[in-house]
Every structure is written in structure tokens, then in C-alpha cells.
Amino acid sequence: MFRIEAEVDKARRDLLRSRLRDTNTAASPVLAALRGTPGAREVPLHVWALDETGGLAGGLVGHTWATWLHVTYLWVDAVHRGAGLGSHLLARAERIAATDRACTSARLETWDFQAPRFYRKQGYEVVCVIPDYPPGITEYTLTKQLPVR
């Protein structure tokens, strides 16, 4: 018999994550080889664009892990859109990931009303489409091979 609970518990979450990591490492030679190396850690990667007053004009927040750049957020203030700032932020993050962190690929998620066309113009390819996530919206996962540096 089991007692099932539905509550936020950070200690159990951490224990579960650790046990899942151990299970995955035991099942995957690739993940086993990564364990204990610098590539096994997620390393934050942030790129900021500041206007002439030091205000936030745009930015990119992501991380690198296991030779991948994962772009979590990319945003440009409406008054600066269309001037290439988003392309510059993304290119800088890709360059840092490839040059300084030996990343070979990038990935991100975006919704249909956000920027799937923008990312395709930057060389990203759609690898997953999830319709109605959330209801009425389509989510896209895109990836890109980064140039070897």
C-alpha cells in the first residue's frame, strides 16, 4: 500500500532528481561519460543590450549543457524591434557557446505568436510542433547546428 501526496517538497524533489540522474547515468554511456565533467553542469549564459541611459533594451537568458546552448528567453523592447538587435543578441550567445564552451548545437522553444519565423531566418529548424499548448497556441521547438570554431 502507498500513500500518495500532492505537495511541493524541495527535499523530495532533490532526492528524486538525484535518483533519476543515477538511473539515467546507469542506462546511458553518454550521460555516464559526462558525469563529473564540466560538461555535466548547466552553465548560465546571459547577453544584455542596454540603451543609452542604461535601461534594458533587450536580452537573452539561457544556459549551456553537454555541448548544447539552450535559449530560455530572448526579448527585445518594442521600440527597438526590427533593427537587428535580436539577431545580434542571438549571434553573440551562439558565438560564446561555440567558441568559449565548445557547443555544437542550440535549441529553444517559442510560440506561434512569438518568433518562429525570426528563428528560421537565423538558421534554426523546427523539430517539434505541439498544437494547443497552451490551448489556442502552438509551441515550436527549434534547433540549429553551430559552426565549428
Partner residues linked to 61 by β-bridges: 46, 73
pLDDT at residue 149, as a whole number: 67
| 103 in a structural domain | yes
| 49 in a structural domain | yes
Buried b (16+ CB within 10 A) or exposed e, 121-135: ebebeeeeeeeeeee
Per-residue pLDDT in tens (0 to 9) along the chain, 149 residues: 999 999 999 999 999 999 999 999 999 998 898 888 877 889 999 999 999 999 999 999 999 999 999 999 999 999 999 999 999 999 999 999 999 999 999 999 999 999 999 999 999 999 999 999 999 999 999 999 998 76
| 8 in a structural domain | no
| 4 in a structural domain | no
Question: Which CATH number characterizes residue 137's domain?
Answer: 3.40.630.30
Which residues, at least 6 apart from 130, have a Cβ–Cβ distance to it below 8 Å?
A: 138, 139, 140, 141
| 56 in a structural domain | yes
Query: Would you mind telling me the total number of residues written for the chain in this entry?
Result: 149
| 16 in a structural domain | no
CA torsion angle 87 91 92 96 (round to 10): 160
Chain mean position to CA 13 = 22
Dist CA 32 CA 25 (whole Å): 5
Domain extent at residue 79: 41-145
The kind and range of the H/E element at 20 are helix 10-27
73's grid cell: 528567453
pLDDT at residue 38, as a whole number: 77
| 106 in a structural domain | yes
Q: Which position has the grid cell 511541493?
A: 8
Whether the upstream peptide bond of residue 131 has omega within 30° of 0, thus cis, is no
pLDDT at residue 37, as a whole number: 82
Domain count, the chain: 1
| 36 in a structural domain | no
Cα–Cα nearest to 115, from 83, 77, 144, 86: 86
